[in-house]
Amino acid sequence: MNKNSAFHGTAEQKARLMAVIEESRSTPGCLMHVLQEAQGIYGYLPIEVQTIIAEGLEISLSEVYGVATFYSQFSLNPKGKHRISVCLGTACYVKGSDKILAEVEKQLGIKCGECTEDGLFSIDSCRCVGACGLAPVMMIDEEVYGRLKPEMVKDILNKYRGDNK
C-alpha cells in the first residue's frame, strides 16, 4: 500500500459503487465482481473503497483484502499520470530487465506496483510486449523503449518530468 497517496473519492463515485453493491449483494460469491466494478470506478482499490465494500456486503475487511491481493489484476495503489511497465518476460529477463526495474525503482524511490507521491509515475511489471528482439524492454504509456541499459533510465524518465513543468 502506498501510504503517501491520499484518497480523493467523490460522492458520485461512492454512489456508483453503492449501486453496484446493492444489485450484487444477494448473489453468492459476488465479491470479485464488486471489486472489478470498484476498480473501474476508482482506478484502484484503497482501504477506503475496500471498507465501503466490506460494510456493504457485510463481510470482513480481511476477506475483501485477501481476494484483492490474490488477483494481480487488482491494484491497491493509484496509477500515475505516466504508467511505466517493465517487461519481465523470459527474453527481457535473461537480458537483465530485473536490473532495469531496479533502476526505475531507485530513480523514482518507489517499488513496483506503487505510485510516486506527485502522481506523475507508477511502476508495474508485465510479461512480454511482443518486442523480444529489442529486449530488455519497458513501456511508458504507449511508448516502447528497447535495448535498455540501466544508465539510460534516468534520461528517459527526465523527458516525462519535463512535460509536467
Compute the Cα dihedral for 124, 129, 135, 140 and give only its sign.
negative
- 18 in contact with another protein (CB under 8 A): no
What is the distance between the alpha carbons of residues 121 and 157, in angstroms, rounded to a whole number?
9
Stretch that binds another protein, among 45-53, 78-86, 109-117, 123-131 (CB under 8 A): 45-53
Give how far Cα 68 sits from Cα of 16, 34, 82, 117, 165, Å: 19, 11, 23, 22, 35
**Contacts with another protein in 71-90 (CB under 8 A)?**
71-72
- 25 in contact with another protein (CB under 8 A): no
Using CB under 8 A, which of 8, 15, 70, 90 touches another protein? 70
- 55 in contact with another protein (CB under 8 A): yes
Per-residue contact string for residues 104-143; x = within reach of another protein by CB under 8 A: ----------------------------------------
DSSP designation for 75:
-
Number of residues that bind another protein (CB under 8 A): 18
- 60 in contact with another protein (CB under 8 A): yes
- 1 in contact with another protein (CB under 8 A): yes
The C-alpha cell that represents 120 in the structure block: 506523475
Report, in Å, the least distance between residue 133 CB and another protein: 30
Residue 64 contacts residue 35 (beta carbons within 8 Å)? yes
Stretch that binds another protein, among 5-13, 32-40, 53-61, 149-157 (CB under 8 A): 53-61
What is the distance between the alpha carbons of residues 50 and 9, in angstroms, rounded to a whole number?
12
Using CB under 8 A, which of 14, 16, 63, 91 touches another protein? 63
What is the distance between the alpha carbons of residues 4 and 11, in angstroms, rounded to a whole number?
22
Cβ neighbours of residue 149 closer than 8 Å, sequence gap 6 or more: none
Residues near another protein (CB under 8 A) are 1, 47, 50-51, 54-55, 59-66, 69-72
